A and B are shown apart, each in its own frame.
Chain A
């Protein structure tokens, strides 16, 4: 996880406070106001990871089954709730399902010195 004091610079969009996303939790965001969450952030084994909300097996398929619900019940896998593909939260690698071996699209983010989470707009 990158840490910077320049998170508020132009070209970056604030999502939330980093500590609002707890261990084993996920949250979706719509920073470009598309009307649907375009990315989501998970915290797994202490670390935050941000991924495009788009299953690699169908171009652009949204993955949650309910707002912010991207993980299995144990919080150990990201699940695409279209056809059940499972991904590792840290690498985005699909380990089970229709796109096994493919990866989620990585989203670059920073957490600034105040603990605020930003992504590139």
Chain B
């Protein structure tokens, strides 16, 4: 089943205006936004959709506290859509919606949708590192650091991480019913999952958790590279948003990460430069400690040489 990745995530919010400002400050582009909600797109058209929590059109969440109401996945073509509908109808209801998409529910209570992908292809250079002996270099006189005032936008919806009460059951649904494969695994925690139509290390990650945590840990968009992503993160912090973990780089997946609190009852991440794998990849397994999750973690130093505002004995004591 050629599921190509996440198409959109739908959240119920208690303050549309604040949530909209948050998503725009993150870098997403508002499309058809009103006081009832709207759509916030990355460069390829993948999106976060928000709606007022009292909107009767919202599907239910897996638990009352979960603000994620629907995860929409993109598929390659109508044939795939039909195949998914036929597979899921074997044991559950599948609704065909007026927009041509289908809607059902997974085995851990998350409402899922599928549509023929509307991702807009685009070509825009990604970050390139110059190194002696290298093969690919940035064009001469082009700059590695995004200049002040440059526009940084998320490129594509990357992945979502669910807390699920029965991680084996949840994994079996995505692997056996929807054709995902496990790329790597945290022992006793859960699998990183890749759909058949994507090479990304993961579009889903499942974390086994007690029933009262059932919901979402985080979701994230891909950025053009680590420098762009971290620059965007610093701008986000300067706007008053609360960082949680990062910037750093994960080990499994190699993606650069920076996590922030959000008004969606879960973290939001910015990520860049995730590994890609094909079916020949052999999944690794590791214990889910912080040491196994971050290969390094960066810290900003605002002043690094003697000068105005630096104590006589330096800033290093």
Contacts and interface: CB of A to CB of B under 8 A. Distances in A.
B65 interface: yes
Contact of A81 (B64, B210, B213, B261): B261
A17 B134 CA distance: 60
Contacts of B64: 96
Nearest to B15: A73
Interface string A70-85: 0011100001111110
B265 interface: yes
A98 B212 contact: yes
A22 B240 CA distance: 20
B262 interface: yes
Contact of A72 (B14, B212, B262, B267): B14
B22 A65 contact: yes
B67 interface: yes
Given A62-B242, A82-B244, A84-B66, A97 B212 contact: yes
Contacts of B66: 84
A26 to B, nearest CB: 13
A64 B213 contact: no
B242 A65 contact: yes
Contacts of A61: 244
B263 interface: yes
- The main secondary structure of chain A at its interface with chain B is loop
Interface residues of B, number: 26
Interface in A75-106: 79-84, 86, 96-98, 100
Interface in B247-272: 260-263, 265-267
B174 interface: no
Interface residues of A, number: 22
Nearest to A97: B65
- The main secondary structure of chain B at its interface with chain A is loop
Nearest to A58: B244
B173 interface: no
A83 B209 CA distance: 13
B106 interface: no
A71 to B, nearest CB: 10
A62 B15 CA distance: 21
Contacts of A80: 261
B137 to A, nearest CB: 38
Name the residue among A64, A73, A100 with the largest chain B CB count within 10 angstroms. A73
Nearest to A63: B261
Interface of A: 61-67, 69, 72-74, 79-84, 86, 96-98, 100
10 closest A-B pairs by beta carbon, nearest first, are: A84-B265, A81-B261, A67-B240, A73-B15, A73-B14, A65-B261, A98-B213, A66-B240, A65-B263, A96-B65
Interface of B: 14-15, 18, 22, 64-67, 209-210, 212-213, 215, 217, 239-242, 244, 260-263, 265-267
28 contacts: A61-B244, A62-B244, A65-B241, A65-B262, A65-B263, A66-B18, A66-B241, A67-B241, A69-B18, A72-B14, A73-B18, A74-B14, A81-B242, A81-B261, A81-B263, A81-B265, A82-B244, A82-B261, A82-B266, A82-B267, A83-B267, A84-B65, A86-B65, A96-B64, A96-B65, A97-B213, A98-B209, A98-B212
